[in-house]
Protein backbone atom coordinates (compact mmCIF):
# COMPACT_ATOMS: atom_id res chain seq x y z
CA UNK A 1 0.00 0.00 0.00
CA UNK A 2 1.31 3.48 -0.86
CA UNK A 3 1.40 6.54 1.35
CA UNK A 4 -1.58 8.85 0.85
CA UNK A 5 0.70 11.91 0.90
CA UNK A 6 3.58 10.71 -1.29
CA UNK A 7 4.46 7.62 -3.33
CA UNK A 8 6.53 5.78 -0.71
CA UNK A 9 5.28 2.51 0.82
CA UNK A 10 2.89 3.09 3.73
CA UNK A 11 4.27 1.66 6.98
CA UNK A 12 1.89 3.42 9.39
CA UNK A 13 -1.84 2.78 9.33
CA UNK A 14 -3.70 5.22 11.56
CA UNK A 15 -7.41 5.15 12.30
CA UNK A 16 -8.79 8.42 13.71
CA UNK A 17 -11.94 7.96 15.77
CA UNK A 18 -12.59 11.64 16.47
CA UNK A 19 -15.53 12.23 14.08
CA UNK A 20 -18.76 10.40 13.41
CA UNK A 21 -17.04 7.88 11.14
CA UNK A 22 -13.56 6.34 11.53
CA UNK A 23 -11.01 7.96 9.22
CA UNK A 24 -8.14 5.74 8.02
CA UNK A 25 -4.75 7.09 7.02
CA UNK A 26 -1.97 5.14 5.34
CA UNK A 27 1.34 6.98 5.62
CA UNK A 28 5.06 6.45 5.17
CA UNK A 29 7.38 7.02 8.13
CA UNK A 30 8.18 10.66 7.30
CA UNK A 31 4.56 11.65 6.60
CA UNK A 32 3.41 9.84 9.75
CA UNK A 33 5.96 11.73 11.82
CA UNK A 34 4.80 15.09 10.49
CA UNK A 35 1.13 14.08 10.86
CA UNK A 36 1.58 12.96 14.47
CA UNK A 37 3.42 16.15 15.45
CA UNK A 38 1.11 18.61 13.69
CA UNK A 39 -1.38 20.87 15.45
CA UNK A 40 -4.51 21.92 13.51
CA UNK A 41 -4.28 25.51 14.82
CA UNK A 42 -0.63 25.84 13.84
CA UNK A 43 0.97 26.56 17.25
CA UNK A 44 2.00 24.41 20.14
CA UNK A 45 -0.85 22.20 21.30
CA UNK A 46 -2.61 23.34 24.46
CA UNK A 47 -3.88 19.85 25.28
CA UNK A 48 -1.91 16.88 24.04
CA UNK A 49 -3.81 15.09 21.31
CA UNK A 50 -3.95 11.31 21.10
CA UNK A 51 -1.76 11.44 18.01
CA UNK A 52 0.72 13.70 19.79
CA UNK A 53 0.90 11.36 22.77
CA UNK A 54 1.35 8.43 20.44
CA UNK A 55 4.20 10.22 18.73
CA UNK A 56 5.85 11.06 22.02
CA UNK A 57 5.52 7.53 23.34
CA UNK A 58 6.60 5.68 20.22
CA UNK A 59 9.34 7.99 18.92
CA UNK A 60 8.22 7.47 15.34
CA UNK A 61 11.62 7.84 13.69
CA UNK A 62 13.02 4.72 15.35
CA UNK A 63 9.79 2.78 15.74
CA UNK A 64 9.57 1.26 12.26
CA UNK A 65 13.07 -0.24 12.46
CA UNK A 66 12.65 -1.45 16.04
CA UNK A 67 9.21 -2.88 15.27
CA UNK A 68 10.53 -4.78 12.26
CA UNK A 69 13.24 -6.29 14.45
CA UNK A 70 10.71 -7.08 17.19
CA UNK A 71 8.28 -8.66 14.72
CA UNK A 72 10.93 -11.25 13.86
CA UNK A 73 11.25 -12.35 17.50
CA UNK A 74 9.70 -15.83 17.96
CA UNK A 75 8.85 -17.81 21.10
CA UNK A 76 10.91 -21.03 21.12
CA UNK A 77 8.11 -22.95 22.87
CA UNK A 78 4.94 -22.19 20.90
CA UNK A 79 6.44 -20.59 17.79
CA UNK A 80 4.32 -17.41 17.86
CA UNK A 81 6.07 -14.29 16.60
CA UNK A 82 5.66 -10.86 18.08
CA UNK A 83 4.12 -9.83 14.74
CA UNK A 84 1.41 -12.48 15.18
CA UNK A 85 0.78 -11.27 18.73
CA UNK A 86 0.39 -7.67 17.53
CA UNK A 87 -2.11 -8.74 14.86
CA UNK A 88 -4.10 -11.27 16.90
CA UNK A 89 -3.82 -9.67 20.32
CA UNK A 90 -3.25 -13.10 21.89
CA UNK A 91 -0.16 -14.83 23.13
CA UNK A 92 0.54 -18.48 22.38
CA UNK A 93 1.80 -19.81 25.72
CA UNK A 94 2.80 -18.72 29.24
CA UNK A 95 6.46 -18.61 28.15
CA UNK A 96 5.61 -15.66 25.86
CA UNK A 97 5.47 -13.41 28.92
CA UNK A 98 9.15 -14.22 29.45
CA UNK A 99 10.10 -14.17 25.78
CA UNK A 100 8.40 -10.83 25.01
CA UNK A 101 8.57 -9.49 28.58
CA UNK A 102 10.31 -6.18 27.92
CA UNK A 103 7.73 -5.31 25.24
CA UNK A 104 4.71 -6.59 27.16
CA UNK A 105 5.42 -5.01 30.58
CA UNK A 106 4.66 -1.40 29.53
CA UNK A 107 1.56 -2.60 27.67
CA UNK A 108 0.28 -4.56 30.67
CA UNK A 109 0.97 -1.66 33.05
CA UNK A 110 -0.86 0.70 30.68
CA UNK A 111 -3.91 -1.57 30.48
CA UNK A 112 -4.09 -3.01 34.02
CA UNK A 113 -2.10 -0.52 36.09
CA UNK A 114 0.26 -3.21 37.40
CA UNK A 115 2.19 -6.26 36.24
CA UNK A 116 1.09 -8.53 39.10
CA UNK A 117 -2.35 -10.16 39.27
CA UNK A 118 -4.21 -9.04 42.38
CA UNK A 119 -7.64 -10.61 41.88
CA UNK A 120 -9.24 -13.99 42.42
CA UNK A 121 -7.91 -17.26 41.01
CA UNK A 122 -10.11 -20.08 39.71
CA UNK A 123 -10.65 -22.77 42.36
CA UNK A 124 -10.56 -25.61 39.83
CA UNK A 125 -7.30 -24.52 38.20
CA UNK A 126 -4.49 -26.87 39.20
CA UNK A 127 -2.29 -26.87 36.09
CA UNK A 128 1.05 -25.12 36.50
CA UNK A 129 2.43 -22.83 33.83
CA UNK A 130 5.26 -25.36 33.45
CA UNK A 131 2.68 -28.05 32.54
CA UNK A 132 0.94 -25.66 30.15
CA UNK A 133 4.24 -24.87 28.46
CA UNK A 134 5.08 -28.57 28.21
CA UNK A 135 1.65 -29.34 26.70
CA UNK A 136 2.05 -26.64 24.07
CA UNK A 137 5.50 -27.93 23.20
CA UNK A 138 4.20 -31.51 22.97
CA UNK A 139 1.29 -30.44 20.72
CA UNK A 140 3.76 -28.70 18.40
CA UNK A 141 6.02 -31.78 18.40
CA UNK A 142 3.04 -34.00 17.62
CA UNK A 143 2.04 -31.80 14.66
CA UNK A 144 5.61 -31.92 13.37
CA UNK A 145 5.70 -35.73 13.70
CA UNK A 146 2.43 -36.03 11.79
CA UNK A 147 3.74 -33.75 9.04
CA UNK A 148 6.82 -36.01 8.76
CA UNK A 149 4.44 -38.99 8.72
CA UNK A 150 6.15 -40.39 11.83
CA UNK A 151 2.90 -41.73 13.27
CA UNK A 152 4.58 -43.91 15.88
CA UNK A 153 6.31 -40.88 17.42
CA UNK A 154 3.04 -38.90 17.15
CA UNK A 155 1.17 -41.58 19.11
CA UNK A 156 3.89 -41.60 21.81
CA UNK A 157 3.57 -37.83 22.14
CA UNK A 158 -0.24 -38.13 22.23
CA UNK A 159 0.04 -40.61 25.11
CA UNK A 160 2.38 -38.26 26.97
CA UNK A 161 -0.11 -35.40 26.49
CA UNK A 162 -2.90 -37.58 27.90
CA UNK A 163 -0.81 -38.44 30.99
CA UNK A 164 -0.21 -34.76 31.72
CA UNK A 165 -3.87 -33.86 31.13
CA UNK A 166 -5.13 -36.76 33.29
CA UNK A 167 -2.71 -35.82 36.05
CA UNK A 168 -4.39 -32.40 36.43
CA UNK A 169 -7.90 -33.82 36.88
Strand partners, 15: 24
Instruction: Look at residue 122 and tell me if it is in a domain.
Output: no
pLDDT tens, 97-150? 888 888 888 888 887 777 777 777 666 665 666 777 888 889 999 999 999 999
Residue numbers of the domain that contains 79: 57-112
Strand partners, 169: none
Return mean pLDDT, the chain. Answer: 79
76 and 104 together in one domain: yes
pLDDT tens, 25-37? 888 888 888 887 7
Cα 56 to chain center, whole Å? 20
61 and 93 together in one domain: yes
Amino acid sequence: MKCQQCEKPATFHITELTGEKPHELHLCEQCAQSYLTQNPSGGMPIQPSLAGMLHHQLKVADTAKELAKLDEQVCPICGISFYEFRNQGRLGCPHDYTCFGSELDPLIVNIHGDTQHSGKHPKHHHQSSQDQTRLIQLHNDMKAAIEKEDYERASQIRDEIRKIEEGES
